[in-house]
Structure 1
Amino acid sequence: MTMSCATDRHDIHDVYAAQCPCRDVLDLLANKWSALAIGAMEEGAQRFGALQRRLDGVSPKVLTNTLRRLEDKGFITRTVYPAVPLHVEYELTELGHSVAEPLAGLRYWVEDHLDDIRTIEAQ
């Protein structure tokens, strides 16, 4: 059994392979708070408090962990401005902007089809 997720097609990753690191990225991006945070940052750099208000219902701990994970994977940058109180802004990187559009499509699809889903659930 190989630990690689590359297929025979010139090292193209295979998210379906059990050990593929693609799954870690998919797990991060498929998380509702990640998808919503990325969407909120499409409007430009955001402070933590603004993000927390925009992502109604997220706890500070969960938002902090989400932002750290997004930063670790290169989807956002965190900039600290020396001020009192401390001023921190989060902003999408080029990589973050590249994933924002497909995630926006998913968010819009959910909003557009929620009534259909609820109708099916009620049956």
Structure 2
Amino acid sequence: MAGQRGGGVADGKRNLLAVEVARGLSVREAAERAGVKLRTAERWASDPTFTARVAQLRSGLVEEALTKVTGSIGEAVDTLRRLLDHEEAGSKLKAAVALLTQAVRLREHGELVERLERLERASAERGPSR
């Protein structure tokens, strides 16, 4: 994107467009929010540097969301555990199912991470492929 005319204002609008696309807006909607003509927005959106920036921003948004979710896990589990003592059978059942479902998912995720790490180590030990 080097060599583009417009300097700071264009760079600011390009960044705003990238942020809005990363948040899930269409290029058309993001162009309207950023105050950019649709053709300009489409041209910017086809630039590999722009798409890399959108991917970077999306990754940051996902990390931010995961941090918030992770911070709430303990409280959520405590709430589900309290519901296990609830008098209503339906609430108890829902809480138990939720806890068991999440426990299985966490275990599967941990196993997949371990397998991937083993594969990556084995691949690194073999060296570059020919």
Taking structure 2 as the reference length, the TM-score comes to: 0.32
Larger radius of gyration between Structure 1 and Structure 2 = 2
Larger RCO: 1 or 2 (CA < 8 Å, sep 6+): 1
Taking structure 1 as the reference length, the TM-score comes to: 0.33
